[in-house]
């Protein structure tokens, strides 16, 4: 069978294609410029415009195709253009846009390699989008690898010469290990089902899960491999070191982007329904315990940290735990739109909060050996009141305090879990939420209620791009938080097609 | 005939071989200290998976296996390229290609 | 419209203050003017609320998150009427009383107070469970800043303890609310978080076990409110928070925020879980009685005036809880009355303690003595408020406590004997403190002031602050009917229908159905289960 593709297929893939083309622009102009760095217009603003174009294209696809029609399988079933894909693409575009804005003024970006940096970042985004679009395990693997390879290099390409290299190599080794485990799982699933496409696996998943041990082993391996990427306990050990070693915009990009698309892939995987059989009940309770441990461990470990980036890294492990709760709901029930939309909404809000939280950290990363601790924030409220307000909004939202976005995303996920009957999981979830309040409020305390530390004041520098980023994120958190209804309805409508 | 039956190689044999090679790969990655050896371990794992893909597709008469293997081989090559580039960077900075130095840097 | 206006006007005022330059005096005047406007606005409620019917009035209902059945639903009835007025009444008094208490970062302080006012009024007016939860939690944030920035020496520990302790209780309430939302979906056919629909739910109850649905929900809600009230043994955050809080923070905390807990019991726990309430009321009554006596005993040994008043708060709120769970008209009416009394008298006590603290910078009772001779007006006011706190006839406290004790006697005699000892103990610790501070030998601090020939008595502004409170003390003590007639019908409606409580929306029987049942567009589609 020859697979044909039409211009409509190209249009549906246009966000990816646009980003790829715009990623080549900086490097080409650099080559044409005799290997000197091209102007900002070429290397930064054009890619940003490209992202905006891609965003418009995505909105077009959502409004025209998703809202009115059924999901479309193109490229002989390996790419699925449905609500989940489009929303993940929006998250990736959002993250990439603001990460690009932030890296311009970050002191860790190599100035003489800026075009390559931009190109790698955009290609990492393309890789993430491939994962979002994919309906086929192999395409997922390709996308994850593409994004990860670009990220390994991005982390290493930092002006800071010690921690970043360590972070890069650690991420490389563990990430490749994870990819290999993922691939082995895919092999088993391929062997038992005869296909690697999610849509076709769904047909046989339930029966196979009950009968074939090989299939279940494959599923476990896939879960382990993807679990590494999203830093679920016990595969989370790389997260604090890698997040600490990378520059803040990159950490935001990595934390939110990879997590979003890998959770989208996990969503599709769990939606095949292999967890809903009796044979898999051991696996289900294991995953529940992993979720609980991620939430509790992430939050408790963050309590003892002083280093802001490590606090955010450990808390991101906890957020993975909450997301895993949403995934479990999807996996356990045959028709859980509530779970899928809760998870997607949580990913969306997590992306906004992460870019804001890591964004403001880049204000303090001035020198190579800077370790941004909570002490740097002392008395910030009286030097920069609006910045302090914005940081407080991020912290309160991450802690899940109403009426901000973080509360509503937790509300939707907890509702989905309660509907499914996972009461103990939800109780652990709220308890760990309360624990997290302590270390999320610590920066707020230091900013407002402590005198500034003279020695550390100099480590702070203003930055227009950071102000823009955190301002937009904070505004989104407040506005979307107060009026989350329409967005949630939209997301919910678009994931109906998953089931 | 009889000898052939005894020596007939079935799917299980390939899978066991693949599993053994994969385990060797994992142990290499987790236990060895030299980065180049770790990279070899990663390659071992990926090739073990390739083996199982081919085995599965051969014994199920599914034509997709080799196609997948092509993709995986390409990606493994790319990964090796990136890994080696990272190793050059590390070597330039730390003068050794040994991950035990990183355990000391952690505070 | 009126309810939304009353709730959110302080936010508008807060924004106006935030962007209004930095002349501290002007800002404070603006803030007081604003809060007085707010109070005047709330007086309109007297005009628009009809106390003769036990319906939900002045209702506003809009969809918020249609997929989950959460709506922006505000309504007023007899139970919340006086609490809203109390809030708008106390806020300008607090701001005027703290004219000199807050010396730095005045703008932020005023903004915090106004935001706090919004969240408190919103809590009392919200008739949708998630909206209530949002306001309930939001009130923690300005309070947290109030104590943390303008508080005493150990404020960081106190404020963090306050925040986390309160939040811990309320997250279980959130889970209970979510559970009931799904229950609404299965029983009523549509998902809803509106309280009116929650009242209609039939929640299974098994008397013998702790693990029946209604009992678990009862305790989930009760935990959150018990921490807020505060009930023994969840009261440990209160003394720290009060001692470390600045005067205005203490006044609002004691005056209004503690009422959010008892209001929660009255609005949520008792109507929604009638069988569980009846069965398990003894737990809360016992805790209330323990709280009364424990609070009183600990208050007696305190050497810090503010901490003494804080523990007396625990004791007084124990009375409110006692009256609530007597579950009869007298008890609940007394509880509502005592909520108002406590707001006025304890608020007044904190203001008075704050006034003298500003001058002498010490709250240790041992430093005082013979203050009456040197600060006569202050002493008179203090003694009057003490009388109110002890429940001397002619003051508001007497009416409240008498009704509560009467109601409890009719319902559960065993608890009354212990509760009455609380009355005696309250007299003991308050009068003893008054004796030590105002009468007797002149204390060290008073001597200092006398030597320097400075006045220790209160000035005109502070007198203006106290005057409305004193007037209310006597008015509520002598003419309780004028206050009670506004909430009477609602309380009777609750008590008479306690096993099958339903609230209807006033005058508009069409709007009786929930927002999500009558409109097809908002109905959750079948595909989503």
Q: Is C149 on the interface with A (CB under 8 A)?
A: yes
Question: Residue A1: inside a domain, yes or no?
Answer: no
State yes or no: pLDDT of C7 exceeds 50. Answer: yes
State yes or no: pLDDT of C358 exceeds 90. Answer: no
| pLDDT computed for residue C79 by the predictor | 86
Question: Residue A298: inside a domain, yes or no?
Answer: yes
Question: Residue A2: inside a domain, yes or no?
Answer: no
Q: Answer yes or no: are the C-beta atoms of C73 and C505 closer than 8 Å.
A: no
State yes or no: pLDDT of C69 exceeds 70. Answer: yes
Q: Is C482 on the interface with A (CB under 8 A)?
A: no
Find residue B98's DSSP bridge partners.
Answer: B34
Q: Is C153 on the interface with A (CB under 8 A)?
A: no
Query: Which CATH number do you get for residue B51?
Result: 1.10.287.3510
Q: Is B24 on the interface with A (CB under 8 A)?
A: no
What does residue B10 show for φ and ψ, rounded to 5 degrees?
A: -105, -175
In terms of Cα–Cα distance, which of C278, C195, C270, C50 is closest to C503?
C195
Find residue C76's DSSP bridge partners.
Answer: C57
Sequence-separated (6 or more) residues with CB below 8 Å from residue A409 = A342, A345, A346, A348, A349, A350
Give me the residue from A401, A438, A483 closest to C141, CB to CB: A401
In terms of Cα–Cα distance, which of A234, A370, A242 is closest to A312?
A242
Chain B and chain C touch, per 3+ beta carbon pairs within 8 A: no
DSSP character for A278?
G
Q: Take residue C341 and report the two structure tokens written for it.
A: 């009394």
- C-alpha dihedral sign at A84, A89, A92, A97: negative
| pLDDT computed for residue B4 by the predictor | 62
Q: Is A165 on the interface with B (CB under 8 A)?
A: yes
DSSP per-residue string spanning C106-145: HHHHHHHHHHHHHHHHHHHHB-BHHHHHHHHHHTHHHHHH
DSSP per-residue string spanning A434-471: HHHHHHHHHHHHHHHHS---HHHHTT----HHHHHHHH
Give me the residue from A179, A190, A194 closest to B53, CB to CB: A190
Chain A and chain C touch, per 3+ beta carbon pairs within 8 A: yes
CA distance A457 to chain B (A): 24
Find chain B residues with C-beta within 8 A of A177's C-beta.
26, 29-30, 42, 45
- Which of A24-33, A282-291, A433-442, C337-346 shows the lowest mean pLDDT across its residues? A24-33
Q: Is B21 on the interface with A (CB under 8 A)?
A: no
Yes or no, beta carbons of A407 and C134 under 8 Å apart: yes
- Which site among B20, B36, B44, B82 would you substitute to test the A interface, given the most A Cβ atoms closer than 10 Å to its Cβ? B82
Half-sphere exposure of C300 (CA within 13 A, CB side): 12
Cα angle, residue C162 at apex, residues A353 and C396 outer, rounded to 5°? 130
How deeply is C474 buried, as exposed, middle or buried, from its count of CB atoms within 10 A (0-12, 13-18, 19+)?
middle
Give me the residue from C66, C141, C182 closest to A485, CB to CB: C66
Beta strands in A63-166 (DSSP E): 72-74, 79-81
**Mutual orientation of helices A385-399 and A405-420 as an angle, nearest 10°?**
0
Q: Answer yes or no: are the C-beta atoms of C275 and C208 closer than 8 Å.
A: no
Most distant CA atoms of chain C, gap in Å: 82
Q: Take residue A412 and report the two structure tokens written for it.
A: 């939707």
| pLDDT computed for residue C525 by the predictor | 37
Give me the residue from A176, A194, A196 closest to B42, CB to CB: A176
Counting one residue from A and one from C, how many pairs have CB atoms under 8 Å apart? 88
Find chain C residues with C-beta within 8 A of A414's C-beta.
174-175, 178
Find residue A73's DSSP bridge partners.
Answer: A80
Judged by DSSP in three states, A322 sits in helix
Find chain B residues with C-beta within 8 A of A145's C-beta.
75, 78-79
State yes or no: pLDDT of C509 exceeds 50. Answer: no
C151-194 pLDDT, tens per residue? 888 888 888 899 999 999 999 999 999 999 998 888 888 888 88
| pLDDT computed for residue C520 by the predictor | 39
- As a whole number, mean pLDDT of residues A314-320 equals 92
Q: Take residue C256 and report the two structure tokens written for it.
A: 């209004």
| pLDDT computed for residue C310 by the predictor | 92
Q: Is B49 on the interface with A (CB under 8 A)?
A: yes
- As a whole number, mean pLDDT of residues A11-18 equals 87
> What distance in Å separates the CA atoms of residue C220 and residue A164, rounded to the nearest whole number?
48
CA distance B8 to chain A (A): 20
Other CB atoms within a 10 A radius of the CB of residue A185 amount to 23
Q: Is A163 on the interface with B (CB under 8 A)?
A: yes
Q: By CA distance, what is C151's nearest residue in A?
A: A449
State yes or no: pLDDT of C450 exceeds 50. Answer: yes
C299 or A467, higher pLDDT: C299
Q: Take residue A422 and report the two structure tokens written for it.
A: 């996972």
- Which of A88-92, C177-181, C197-201, C337-341 shows the lowest mean pLDDT across its residues? C197-201
| pLDDT computed for residue A377 by the predictor | 79
Domain ranges of chain C: 296-484
Yes or no, beta carbons of B75 and A145 under 8 Å apart: yes
What average pLDDT does the structure give for chain A? Answer: 86
SS3 content of chain A, % helix, strand, coil (to 5): 80, 0, 20
| pLDDT computed for residue B3 by the predictor | 60
| pLDDT computed for residue A468 by the predictor | 83
Chain A interface residues (partner C, CB cutoff 8 A): 335, 337-338, 341, 382, 396, 401-403, 407-408, 411-412, 414-415, 418-419, 426-427, 430-431, 433-434, 437-438, 441, 445, 448-449, 483-485, 488-489, 492, 496
Find chain A residues with C-beta within 8 A of B102's C-beta.
166, 169-170
DSSP per-residue string spanning C465-520: HHHHHHHHHHHHHH-HHHHHTTTHHHHHHHHHTGGG----BTT-GGGGS-HHHH-G
- Give, rounded to a whole angstrom, the gap between the first and last alpha carbons of chain A: 28
Give me the residue from C64, C138, C178 closest to A415, CB to CB: C178
State yes or no: pLDDT of C519 exceeds 50. Answer: no
State yes or no: pLDDT of C529 exceeds 70. Answer: no
Q: By CA distance, what is A244's nearest residue in B?
A: B106
Yes or no, beta carbons of B46 and A173 under 8 Å apart: no
Q: Is A210 on the interface with B (CB under 8 A)?
A: no
In terms of Cα–Cα distance, which of A366, A360, A357, A379 is closest to A458?
A366
> What distance in Å separates the CA atoms of residue A429 and residue A233, rounded to the nearest whole number?
15
Q: How confident is the model at residue A260 (pLDDT cuts 50, 70, 90)?
A: very high
How deeply is B17 buried, as exposed, middle or buried, from its count of CB atoms within 10 A (0-12, 13-18, 19+)?
middle
CA distance A214 to chain C (A): 33
DSSP character for C529?
-
Q: Which domain holds residue A86?
A: 7-498
For chain B, what is the radius of gyration of the CA atoms? 18
CA distance C520 to chain A (A): 15
Task: Output the pTM of the full model.
Answer: 0.91
Find residue C65's DSSP bridge partners.
Answer: C70
Q: Answer yes or no: are the C-beta atoms of A452 and A383 closer than 8 Å.
A: yes
| pLDDT computed for residue C345 by the predictor | 92
Sequence-separated (6 or more) residues with CB below 8 Å from residue A107 = A159, A365, A366, A367
| pLDDT computed for residue A485 by the predictor | 81
Q: Take residue C284 and report the two structure tokens written for it.
A: 């809360």
* pLDDT above 70: percentage of residues in chain A: 94
Yes or no, beta carbons of A401 and C70 under 8 Å apart: no
Q: Take residue A164 and report the two structure tokens written for it.
A: 């970043």
What does residue C207 show for φ and ψ, rounded to 5 degrees?
A: -70, -30
Sequence-separated (6 or more) residues with CB below 8 Å from residue C344 = C86, C90, C255, C388, C396, C469, C472, C473, C476
State yes or no: pLDDT of A187 exceeds 90. Answer: yes
| pLDDT computed for residue C483 by the predictor | 86
Sequence-separated (6 or more) residues with CB below 8 Å from residue C515 = C61, C63, C71, C73, C192, C194, C522
Half-sphere exposure of A128 (CA within 13 A, CB side): 33
Q: Take residue A310 and report the two structure tokens written for it.
A: 């490590």
State yes or no: pLDDT of C438 exceeds 70. Answer: yes
| pLDDT computed for residue C414 by the predictor | 84
Cα angle, residue C486 at apex, residues C322 and C386 outer, rounded to 5°? 50
DSSP per-residue string spanning C335-404: HHHHHHHHHHHHHHHHHHHHHHHHHH---BGGG---HHHH-HHHHHHHHHHHHHHHT-TTSHHHHHHHHH
A322-362 pLDDT, tens per residue? 999 999 988 887 667 888 889 999 999 999 999 988 888 88
Find chain A residues with C-beta within 8 A of B106's C-beta.
241
Find chain A residues with C-beta within 8 A of C64's C-beta.
483, 485
* pLDDT above 70: percentage of residues in chain C: 96
C364-417 pLDDT, tens per residue? 888 888 888 788 888 899 999 999 999 888 888 899 999 999 999 988 888 888
Per-residue pLDDT tens digits of chain B, which is 107 residues long: 566 666 678 888 899 999 999 999 999 998 988 889 999 999 999 999 999 999 999 888 888 889 999 999 999 999 999 999 999 988 888 887 777 777 655 54
Judged by DSSP in three states, C224 sits in helix
Q: Which domain holds residue B13?
A: 2-105
Q: How many domains does chain B have?
A: 1
Q: Answer yes or no: are the C-beta atoms of A330 and A343 closer than 8 Å.
A: yes
What average pLDDT does the structure give for chain C? Answer: 86
| pLDDT computed for residue A335 by the predictor | 66
Yes or no, beta carbons of A445 and C70 under 8 Å apart: no
Yes or no, beta carbons of B86 and A187 under 8 Å apart: no
| pLDDT computed for residue A449 by the predictor | 79
Q: Take residue B26 and report the two structure tokens written for it.
A: 């994992």
What ipTM was estimated for this complex?
0.92
Give me the residue from A396, A412, A449 closest to C156, CB to CB: A449
Q: How many domains does chain A have?
A: 1
Q: Take residue A218 and report the two structure tokens written for it.
A: 């494959």
Q: How confident is the model at residue C308 (pLDDT cuts 50, 70, 90)?
A: very high
Yes or no, beta carbons of B46 and A149 under 8 Å apart: no
Q: By CA distance, what is B79's nearest residue in A?
A: A149
| pLDDT computed for residue A289 by the predictor | 92
A131-144 pLDDT, tens per residue? 998 888 999 999 99
Q: Take residue C171 and report the two structure tokens written for it.
A: 């997250």
Give me the residue from C70, C160, C172 closest to A441, CB to CB: C160
Yes or no, beta carbons of A241 and B106 under 8 Å apart: yes
Q: Answer yes or no: are the C-beta atoms of A490 and A332 closer than 8 Å.
A: no
Q: How confident is the model at residue C514 (pLDDT cuts 50, 70, 90)?
A: low
Question: B touches which chains (3+ CB pairs under 8 A)?
Answer: A
């Amino acid at each position: 069978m020859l697979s044909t593709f039409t211009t409509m297929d190209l249009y549906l893939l246009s966000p990816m294609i646009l980003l790829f083309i715009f990623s080549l622009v900086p490097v080409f102009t650099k080559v044409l410029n005799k290997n000197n760095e091209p102007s900002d217009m070429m290397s930064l603003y054009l890619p940003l415009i490209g992202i905006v174009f891609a965003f418009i294209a995505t909105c077009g696809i959502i409004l025209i195709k998703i809202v009115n029609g059924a999901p479309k399988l193109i490229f002989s079933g390996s790419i699925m253009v449905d609500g989940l894909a489009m929303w993940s693409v929006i998250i990736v575009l959002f993250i990439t846009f603001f990460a690009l804005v932030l890296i311009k003024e970050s002191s860790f970006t190599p100035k003489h390699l800026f075009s390559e940096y931009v190109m790698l970042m955009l290609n990492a985004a393309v890789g993430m989008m491939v994962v979002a679009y994919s309906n086929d395990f192999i395409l997922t693997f390709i996308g994850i690898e593409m994004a990860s390879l670009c990220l390994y290099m991005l982390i290493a390409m930092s002006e800071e010469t010690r921690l970043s290299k360590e972070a890069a190599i650690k991420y490389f080794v563990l990430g490749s290990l994870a990819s290999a485990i993922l691939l082995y799982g895919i092999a088993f699933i391929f062997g038992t089902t005869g296909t690697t496409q999610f849509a076709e696996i769904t047909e046989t998943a339930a029966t196979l899960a009950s009968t074939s041990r090989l299939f279940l082993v494959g599923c476990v391996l896939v879960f382990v491999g993807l679990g590494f990427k999203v830093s679920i306990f016990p595969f989370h050990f790389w997260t604090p070191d890698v997040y600490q070693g990378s520059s803040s915009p990159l950490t935001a990009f990595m934390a939110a982007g990879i997590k979003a698309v890998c959770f989208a892939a996990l969503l599709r995987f769990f939606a095949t329904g292999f967890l809903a059989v009796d044979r898999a009940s051991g696996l289900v309770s294991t995953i529940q315990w992993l979720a609980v441990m991620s939430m509790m461990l992430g939050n408790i470990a963050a309590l003892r940290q002083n280093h802001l980036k490590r606090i955010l890294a450990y808390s991101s492990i906890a957020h993975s735990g909450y997301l895993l709760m949403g995934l479990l709901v999807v996996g356990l029930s045959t028709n859980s739109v509530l779970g899928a939309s809760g998870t997607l909404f949580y990913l969306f809000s997590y992306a906004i909060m992460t870019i804001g939280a890591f964004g403001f950290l880049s204000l303090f990363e001035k020198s190579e050996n800077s370790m941004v601790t909570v002490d740097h924030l002392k008395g910030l409220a009286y030097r920069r009141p609006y910045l302090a307000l914005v940081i407080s909004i991020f912290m309160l939202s991450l802690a899940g305090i109403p009426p901000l976005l973080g509360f509503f995303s937790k509300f939707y996920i907890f509702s989905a879990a309660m509907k499914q009957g996972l009461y103990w999981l939800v109780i652990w979830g709220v308890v760990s939420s309360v624990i997290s309040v302590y270390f999320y409020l610590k920066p707020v305390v230091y900013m407002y209620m402590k005198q500034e530390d003279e020695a550390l004041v100099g480590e702070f520098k203003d930055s227009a791009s950071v102000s823009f980023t955190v301002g937009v994120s904070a505004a989104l958190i407040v506005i979307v938080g107060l009026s989350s209804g329409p967005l949630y309805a939209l997301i919910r409508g678009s994931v109906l097609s998953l089931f | 005939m009889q000898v052939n039956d005894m020596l007939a190689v079935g799917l299980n044999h390939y899978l066991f071989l693949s599993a053994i090679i994969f385990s060797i790969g994992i142990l290499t990655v987790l236990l060895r200290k030299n980065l180049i050896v770790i990279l070899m371990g990663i390659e071992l794992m990926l090739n073990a998976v390739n083996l199982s893909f081919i085995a599965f597709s051969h014994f199920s008469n599914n034509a997709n296996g080799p196609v997948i293997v092509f993709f995986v081989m390409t990606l493994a090559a790319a990964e090796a390229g990136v890994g080696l580039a990272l190793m050059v960077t590390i070597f330039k900075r730390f003068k050794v290609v040994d991950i035990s130095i990183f355990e000391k840097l952690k505070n | 419209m009126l309810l939304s206006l009353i709730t959110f006007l302080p936010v508008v005022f807060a924004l106006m203050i935030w962007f209004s330059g930095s002349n501290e005096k002007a800002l404070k005047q603006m803030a007081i003017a604003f809060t007085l406007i707010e109070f005047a606005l709330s007086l309109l409620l007297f005009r628009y609320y009809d106390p003769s019917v036990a319906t939900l009035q002045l209702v506003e209902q809009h969809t918020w998150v249609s997929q989950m059945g959460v709506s922006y639903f505000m309504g007023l009835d007899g139970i919340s009427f006086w609490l809203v007025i109390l809030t708008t009444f106390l806020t300008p008094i607090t701001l005027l009383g703290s004219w000199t208490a807050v010396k730095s970062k005045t703008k932020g302080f005023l903004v915090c107070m106004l935001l706090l006012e919004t969240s408190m009024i919103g809590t009392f007016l919200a008739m949708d469970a998630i909206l209530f939860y949002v306001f309930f939690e939001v009130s923690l944030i300005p309070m947290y800043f109030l104590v943390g920035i303008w508080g005493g020496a150990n404020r960081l520990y106190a404020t963090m303890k306050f925040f986390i302790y309160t939040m811990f209780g309320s997250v279980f309430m959130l889970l209970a609310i979510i559970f009931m939302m799904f229950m609404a979906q299965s029983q009523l056919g549509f998902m809803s978080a509106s309280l009116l629909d929650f009242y209609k739910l039939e929640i299974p109850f098994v008397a013998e076990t702790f693990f029946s649905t209604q009992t678990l929900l009862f305790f989930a809600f009760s935990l959150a409110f018990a921490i807020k009230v505060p009930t023994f043994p969840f009261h440990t955050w209160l003394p720290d928070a009060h001692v470390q809080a600045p005067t205005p923070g203490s006044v609002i905390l004691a005056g209004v925020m503690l009422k959010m807990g008892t209001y929660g019991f009255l609005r949520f726990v008792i109507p929604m879980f009638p069988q569980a309430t009846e069965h398990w009321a003894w737990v809360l009554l016992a805790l209330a009685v323990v709280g009364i006596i424990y609070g009183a005993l600990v208050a007696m040994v305190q050497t810090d005036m503010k901490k003494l008043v804080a523990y007396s708060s625990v004791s007084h709120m124990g009375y409110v809880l006692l009256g609530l769970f007597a579950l009869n008209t007298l008890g609940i009416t007394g509880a509502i009355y005592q909520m108002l009394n406590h707001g006025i008298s304890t608020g007044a006590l904190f203001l008075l303690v704050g006034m003298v603290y500003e001058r002498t910078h010490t709250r240790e009772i041992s430093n005082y003595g013979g203050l009456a001779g040197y600060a006569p007006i202050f002493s008179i006011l203090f003694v009057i408020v003490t009388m109110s706190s002890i429940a001397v006839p002619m003051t508001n406290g007497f009416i409240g406590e008498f009704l509560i004790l009467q109601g409890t006697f009719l319902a559960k005699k065993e608890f009354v004997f212990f509760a009455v000892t609380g009355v005696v103990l309250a007299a003991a610790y308050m009068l003893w403190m008054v004796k030590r501070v105002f009468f007797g030998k002149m204390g060290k601090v008073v001597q200092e002031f006398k030597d320097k020939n400075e006045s220790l008595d209160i000035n005109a502004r502070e007198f203006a602050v106290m005057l409305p409170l004193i007037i209310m003390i006597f008015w509520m003590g002598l003419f309780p009917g004028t206050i009670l007639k506004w909430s009477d019908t609602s309380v009777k409606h609750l008590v008479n229908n306690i096993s099958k409580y339903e609230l209807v929306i006033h005058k508009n029987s069409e709007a009786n159905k929930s927002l999500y049942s009558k409109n097809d567009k908002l109905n959750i589609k079948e595909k989503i289960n």
